[in-house]
Structure 1
Amino acid sequence: MITDHYAAFQAEQRGASNALPDGVWDIVAGVEWIFGRAAPGERGGLDVLKPGLVREEASKWLTRWELADVVEEIRLVLSELVTNALRYGVGALSVRMCLISNTDAAWLHLEVWDGSTRMPRIRDAGPGAECGRGLWLVRAVIKELHGAYGVSDGGRRTWCRTPVQITA
């Protein structure tokens, strides 16, 4: 399911631990992907396609929003967040990406909700490890983009945001 309406987003942000800086923020544009999860015996089935679907859809939306300069970085961040949510989360998966702005700044806000109460953690993966670097990559990319990264709702929601330049 894909939707581009964020009527409740600002209200959610006011009460969330990942709240925006003080001020009035407008949602310029947004998209949300909501996925069910493969049945227990189907693990690795259709779930493995979801990070790729989100990467491709994000590319289209970022290009449409004239943010082509951050497409590759945001594709990587979303892919890692979705993969982590699929691996460790429970229940449905929700991915949000939106542009928010006020008179002083604009941000690209990303969040993945996975229903798990397990707090995501950045691991110290060894050189031969095949996994364990996803959140480290997310943090490094978002830091490079001068953004912020965090976890809220008791581990259910992983979010990040980065400043962007948008045209009026």
Structure 2
Amino acid sequence: MASARRELRRGLAAWGLEGLADCAELVLTELLTNAVQHGCPPQGRQIETRCERLASGVRIEVHDANEDWPELQGQGADAESGRGLLLVDALTGSRWGVGPRDGVGKRVWAVVSHDGSAPDGCAGR
């Protein structure tokens, strides 16, 4: 996970989007954690990350070989886990989703941007 975060920060710096780095890194970490914990990739299958520069930010994708799509679920105050997508939803202003990928599995994506859809602290001023 550390190498994916470093690559994301390098890409954001190259694109002049350093102000989005903390929020984007948190979103990437949550998506990767979900892929590792719930994706259950088959032996020999890897989890892949991709980032795409957008006009106002970055689109982050995490690909895994599991066919099960994650769903946003409400969690009780006492729950010890299960808040990852709730956090991604809040940080991205609900700009995330799931889609098929080439081959087996799915891709989960999220957009972190300067457009004001994210809460204060993640807007990358």
TM-score above 0.5 = yes
Aligned partner (choices 47, 52, 57) of residue 98 of structure 1: 52
TM-score, normalising length: structure 2: 0.75
Aligned residue number for residue 78 of structure 1: 28
- Per-residue CA deviations over 1:79-118 (Å, capped at 9, x if unaligned) read 0000000111123111001214xxxx45412111111111
In structure 2, what is the Cα distance between the partners aligned to 1:127 and 1:106? 34
- Answer 1 or 2: higher relative contact order, Cα 8 Å, separation at least 6: 2
Q: Which 5+ residue runs of structure 2 have no aligned equivalent? A: 116-125
Aligned residues: 108
In structure 1, what is the Cα distance between the partners aligned to 2:112 and 2:38? 25
4+ residue runs of structure 1 moved beyond 6 angstroms?
Answer: none
- Checking the alignment, whether the CA contact within 8 Å between 2:20 and 2:112 is kept in structure 1 is no
User: What displacement does 1:60 show?
Assistant: 2.2
Percent identity of equivalent pairs: 32
User: What displacement does 1:164 show?
Assistant: 4.8
User: What displacement does 1:153 show?
Assistant: 0.9
User: What displacement does 1:119 show?
Assistant: 1.3
Aligned residue number for residue 34 of structure 1: none
In structure 2, what is the Cα distance between the partners aligned to 1:163 and 1:131? 26
Q: Which 5+ residue runs of structure 1 have no aligned equivalent? A: 1-49
* Alignment root-mean-square deviation, CA: 2.2
Aligned residue number for residue 139 of structure 1: 89
Aligned residue number for residue 125 of structure 1: 75
